[in-house]
Amino acid sequence: MSETKLATHAWTVMDVGVLVAVLGALANDDPSVFVGGRFEGEGDQRTLVLPGGVGSDLQLFGKVAGSPIEAGSSYICPREALRVLALNKWVEVESSVGEIRIRLGERARKLNEGA
């Protein structure tokens, strides 16, 4: 999918779900929704660091997909969603071998500032 198409296509449930999970983790200073998630840095450089890396799945803890029943944990493959969020300036993403690093993007920072 081209970058132009990615930036303008209709968002999927995965896109919205990943946005909510990432913004929620950063806003609440709680990476526990992501198995093995941790934070590094402070302020605008606050980074959510997730195990995985290029092409990996992310594992989520607990109740997923709206289920009221504790189902253990589930896996999602958010590469496309993270790319959509980055192109739309909600997050900044760095992928490398072994980890995915996510920071607030321009839009999310403006939302935090109330602009």
Contact assessment for residue 7 and residue 16, using Cβ atoms and an 8 Å cutoff: no
Residues 6+ apart with CB under 8 A from 67: none
Q: What pLDDT score was predicted for residue 60?
A: 59
Q: What pLDDT score was predicted for residue 107?
A: 93
Q: What pLDDT score was predicted for residue 68?
A: 47
Q: What pLDDT score was predicted for residue 79?
A: 75
Q: What pLDDT score was predicted for residue 106?
A: 94
Q: What pLDDT score was predicted for residue 110?
A: 92
Domain that holds residue 53: 3-113
Task: Report the 3 state secondary structure along 50-97.
Answer: EEEECCCCEEEECCCCCCCCCCCEEEECCHHHHHHHHHCCCEEEEEEE
Phi and psi at residue 54, to the nearest 5°: -60, 120
6 exposure class (CB count in 10 Å sphere: 0-12, 13-18, 19+): middle
**Smallest Cα–Cα separation from 79: which of 12, 25, 26?**
12
Count how many domains the chain has: 1
Q: What pLDDT score was predicted for residue 32?
A: 83
> What is the pTM (predicted TM-score) of this model?
0.74
Mean pLDDT, consecutive 10-residue segments, the chain of 115 residues? 57 87 90 86 88 62 50 62 91 87 93 79
